Amino acid sequence: MAQNTTQNTAEDITAETAGGTGGGIARAVPLHGIHVPLVTPFTRAGEIAAEALEALAHEVLDGGATGIVALGTTGETACLDEAERALVTGVCARVCRERDAMLTVGAGAVGTRAAETSLAALVRWPQAGAALVTVPSFVRPSAAGVLAHFGRLAEVSPVPLVVYHIPHRTGQPLDAAALRALGSLPGVAGVKYSTGSVDQDAVELLGDRPAGFHVLAGDDVYVSPMLAMGASGGILASAHLATERFAELAAAWRAGDAVRARALGHALAGLSAAAFAEPNPAVVKGVLHAQGRIPTPDVRLPLLPASGAAVASVLERLAALDKPLAGQASGEMNTGGGNRRRKKSWMGDLTPTHESPE
C-alpha cells in the first residue's frame, strides 16, 4: 500500500472495506478485553506510513487485543487533515474486517450539531462497531446538558457510543450518578473512564452499572485495579508495547487469579507510567521506532519527540517483563513482554516473529 494521504488511496480503502461483513450496528458490541488506540506512524517525509499502521493493527490483534481504536487521542487526530483521517480509518477498518475484530472510531465535536455530522460520516465504514465520543470540552455544559448532548447523538448515530470521560482535558467533571444516567441511554454502550485516579465515583459506578453498560479503564496505570473492581476492559496506549501481557492481565482478573493479576498489574503499571512520562504518544512512538515497528518516532507539532532517556526507561521496563514476576516461580514461563510481530517491508518479509525489544 502506498504510504501517502491522497484521496484516491482513501477511496480505494473505502471500496475494499465496504464489501465486508457490515452490519456493525446490529452486532453485539464486544467491549470486553483490551482495545489499543493506535498511533499514527509517519514516514520521513511526514506522510502517514500506511503499511506500518496496518502492521501495527495486525500485531496488537495477534497479541490478544479484542479490538483497535482509530482516531483516538493517541492517534494525534487533531493534527490530521480530513483525507488523512479517512486513510487511517480505512486501514483500520480493512484489518478489522479481515480479522473479525472490534473497531472503535473516534468521532464527535464540541457542538452537538457538529458531532451529529461527524457521527453520520461513520456510515462510510461498515466495520465500525462503536464511536468513541469525548464529553464536550471548553464550553462546560451542566451534567444535564451533557446528558442531552449524548441523548441526541445516540438517537442519530449509526453505531453505539462509548463516552470518553476525561475531565482533565474537557474541564467537565461527571459524578457516578451522571455517568449512570448516560449509561442508561439507548445507544450508549460504555464509557472510557479516564479521571487520572481510581476515585469514589469509579467505585460507585462499577458497583452499580446499568445493564449492558461497559466501563473501560482509560488510564493505563490504573487498569489493574479497575479490572479488579469489575471493569470490562481498557483502552490503553501502553498496550502497543506489551499487548500479550495486558491481555493476560485482563484474563487473570476475569479468571479470579488475583495473585497472578496483582503481580502483573504492578509490573504493567510501572511500564505505563514510564510510557506517559512525556506527552502521549511521543514515548510510545519512540519505543515503537526503537523496536523497528514504525519508520520514524515523529509526532506532529505542537507535540515534540520523546527524549532518549524516556524511551530507554520504557525499554528497560519491557525487558523486565520477561523476568519472573513477584509470586511467579522462576521456572514458570512468561508469555513475553513484546508482541507477536509481523516484520515490516523495510525489515524484510512479513513472517510473524516473536522478538524482545531491542
CA dist 200 and 68 (Å) reads 29
Please give the grid coordinates belonging to residue 53: 499502521
Interacting residues of 162 by C-beta distance below 8 A, sequence separation 6+: 31, 104, 130, 131, 132, 133, 188, 189, 190, 191, 192, 214, 216
Q: What is the DSSP string of 26-65?
A: TS-----EEEEE----B-TTSSB-HHHHHHHHHHHHHTT-
Single-letter code of the amino acid located at 119:
L
What's the start-to-end Cα distance of the chain, in Å? Answer: 27
Which amino acids are annotated catalytic? 164, 192
Query: What is the number of other CB atoms lying within 10 angstroms of the CB of residue 315?
Result: 20
CB 13 within 8 A of CB 62: no
DSSP 184-239: TSTTEEEEEE-SSS--HHHHHHHHSPPTT-EEEE-SGGGHHHHHHTT--EEE-GGG
d(CA 226, CA 208): 14
